[in-house]
């Protein structure tokens, strides 16, 4: 029962953040690659995310470590994400920090999504499944570093 307030806020948060992600899909452009990301997040106020990602671009696999932060988050979650990469013309344009204005709400097993963009104009439309108890809102950033 102590997760009931979190579940109620989570349901409202998902409705708030789903509309911008769906609206952004219409302006993404032509896909140029794909990504698979596995990460963990631990939060109490300011959150921290860490994990690994594999970018598939021009029939080659590129491996990255992932780290990031999020403001206004509480809880712990393990996330598996798959996404489509847009506007990538060379693999070196992928490394760096991607920013997003999104939110996550997870209680038990959850679904989420985000659109992220880096300074090179590379975009990722990502869909996530998460396990754990976590509520996050506000801006987030993920940094991809080549291994």
What is the spatial distance between Cα 129 and Cα 112, in angstroms, rounded to a whole number? 6
Average pLDDT (44-57) is 82
**Count of Cβ atoms closer than 10 Å to residue 135 Cβ:** 22
Average pLDDT (115-134) is 81
What is the spatial distance between Cα 42 and Cα 53, in angstroms, rounded to a whole number? 18
Q: b vs e for 26-61, b when ≥16 Cβ sit within 10 Å of the residue's Cβ?
A: eeeeeebbebebebebebeeebebebebebebeeee
pLDDT value at 53 more than 50? yes
Q: What is the pLDDT of residue 31?
A: 95
Q: What is the pLDDT of residue 81?
A: 85
pLDDT value at 46 more than 90? no
Least confident window among 7-11, 49-53, 110-114, 128-132 = 7-11
pLDDT value at 44 more than 50? yes
The mean predicted confidence, pLDDT, of the chain is 73
Cβ–Cβ < 8 Å for 135, 144 = no
Average pLDDT (57-78) is 80
pLDDT in tens, 70-120: 655 556 677 788 999 999 999 999 999 988 745 444 444 566 677 889 999
CA 133 to chain centre: 16
**Tokens for 46?**
């300011």
């Amino acid at each position: 029962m102590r997760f009931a307030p979190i579940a109620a806020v989570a349901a409202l948060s998902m409705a708030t953040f789903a509309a911008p992600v769906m609206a952004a899909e219409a302006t993404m452009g032509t896909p140029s690659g794909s990504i698979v990301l596995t990460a963990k997040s631990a939060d109490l106020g300011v959150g921290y995310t860490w994990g690994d990602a594999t970018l598939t671009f021009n029939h080659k696999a590129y491996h990255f470590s992932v780290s990031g932060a999020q403001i206004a988050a509480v809880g712990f979650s393990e996330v598996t994400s798959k996404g489509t990469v847009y506007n990538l013309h060379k693999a070196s344009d992928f490394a760096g920090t991607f920013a997003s204005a999104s939110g996550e709400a997870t209680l038990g097993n959850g679904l989420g999504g985000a659109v992220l963009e880096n300074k090179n104009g590379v975009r990722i439309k990502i869909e996530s499944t998460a396990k754990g108890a976590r509520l996050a809102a506000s801006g987030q950033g993920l940094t991809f570093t080549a291994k």
